[in-house]
Chains A and B, each alone.
Chain A
Amino acid sequence: MTSISDFDAPKPPPWMGALVPFLIVLAAAGFYWFLTSDKEKSPIDLDSSQEVKLSGKLSNGQTYYIFASEIEVYPTNLENEAWDRGEKGPDIRYRILWKGNAVFESVTKGDSLIADWSGLSIELNWKDLLGKSVSPDDVIKAGRVRFDENETIEIVVQDVDIASDDDVGRKEILLNGLSIGKNVIRLKKSPANAIRRITLRILPIGSNLQDLANIMK
């Protein structure tokens, strides 16, 4: 009968000791994870389940919000005269026409050669502060258009006056050439056009609000 003493027992290789800290780290992490995994709430999934493209060209059949975030006009009107009497600037308003129908009309921005719109607007009442929920559609101030190949929209810009509204210009835009996000269109002065620049913003409908907010910035 043979007995193996400590002296005779095979010695583990010297590097085996180096595994001890690794095993302690693993055991501590595993133990902590085991203790807390049930208690952890599942984090809110910020990624929407809907797969909506947030950049690049427009997709066929997809519906988009479209609005002009900025419109700049030339310093003189179509007749090369001052916009309003005196030194006042034009009161700019625009409409978006799609398939011959006005799908959106902006509020009027007074006395400005460069007018801007945020695309977001909300009117809050006292009762809203008590937890009323507001739908994104209620606050997004933009037209809705569906993209199809060779589809166009028309932007009609006017100088709003008390007596009658004067045309500033209109521009037909092919949707194929537009991208999601910011699109800048520059125009030359002509007898039919006094718009210098239109900045259009296009946002996909169906994306989550944070994405929309980021595109609008």
Chain B
Amino acid sequence: MNITRFFIALAALLLGIGLIAPTLTISPMAGELTWLVRILAPEELVPSTYSILGVIGKLYQGNDFFLVLLLSLFSVLSPILKLSFFWQASSQSYQQENSNSLFKVIHYVGKFSMAEVFALALIIVVVKSFPGGSSAQLEWGAYIFTCSVACSIIASIRIEKKDRNKALQ
């Protein structure tokens, strides 16, 4: 297995774990009434931890279909699609047969390299703006997810480099 493919496989592995692993802990608050809720119903203020898929599921339950679509697209579908293209582009035979069209796609898909991080940031912004002083904290799943993004960036750089070298020859 070449190094580029190793990074793609690693990115896919980390992505799989990152989608399921705890990513975000939300600590709910009830604004000025937090003290009261803490006395009367402390279970209402227990922090909840979600994975990325968990957040999407929660948003779906809340009928926030736009955010469901946005997050599914940028944090699940786009990264998988991107890695699939990278895998295909790193294949020697495929490079020879379809180099032009595929590298165009790779350039295009590469623009979404940081889209996953944007999606994660979006989740935090959404939660940060919850009323009542609720807060969000990143969990280790978020770092796994970020490592996946980093691996896919490395893979894309290696593919582009190979493409450039090929063009120069």
Q: A interface, by DSSP: helix, strand, loop or mixed?
A: helix
* Chain A contacts for B17, CB-based, 8 A: 28-29, 32
Is B33 a contact partner of A120 (Cβ separation < 8 A)? yes
* Chain B contacts for A136, CB-based, 8 A: 40
Taking the closest CB of chain B, its distance from the CB of A182, in whole angstroms, is 16
Q: Is A213 an interface residue (CB 8 A)?
A: yes
Q: A21-B8, A29-B20, A44-B46 given as contacts; is B87 within 8 A of A208 (CB)?
A: no
Q: What's the count of A-B pairs with C-beta under 8 Å?
A: 102
Is A28 a contact partner of B16 (Cβ separation < 8 A)? yes
Interface residues of B in 4-46 (CB under 8 A from A): 8-9, 11-17, 19-21, 30-33, 36-37, 39-41, 43-44, 46
Q: B interface, by DSSP: helix, strand, loop or mixed?
A: helix
Closest A residue to B21 using CB positions:
A32
Q: Is B91 an interface residue (CB 8 A)?
A: yes
Query: Which of B66-74, B78-86, B119-127 is the interface stretch?
Result: B78-86
Q: A128-B39, A210-B41 given as contacts; is B16 within 8 A of A25 (CB)?
A: yes
* Chain A contacts for B8, CB-based, 8 A: 21
Query: Which of A10-18, A103-111, A157-165, A183-191 is the interface stretch?
Result: A10-18
* Chain B contacts for A46, CB-based, 8 A: 44
Interface residues of A (CB under 8 A from B): 14-15, 17-22, 24-33, 36, 43-44, 46, 120, 122, 124, 128, 133-136, 139, 208-210, 213-214, 216-217
* Chain A contacts for B48, CB-based, 8 A: 43-44
Q: Is B88 an interface residue (CB 8 A)?
A: yes
Closest A residue to B48 using CB positions:
A43
Q: A29-B20, A217-B31 given as contacts; is B88 within 8 A of A18 (CB)?
A: yes
* Chain A contacts for B12, CB-based, 8 A: 20-22, 24-25, 28
* Chain A contacts for B94, CB-based, 8 A: 14, 17
Is B36 a contact partner of A21 (Cβ separation < 8 A)? no
Is B44 a contact partner of A208 (Cβ separation < 8 A)? yes
Taking the closest CB of chain A, its distance from the CB of B51, in whole angstroms, is 9
Q: What are 7 pairs between A and B in contact, CB < 8 Å?
A: A18-B87, A25-B12, A26-B16, A120-B33, A134-B39, A209-B37, A210-B30
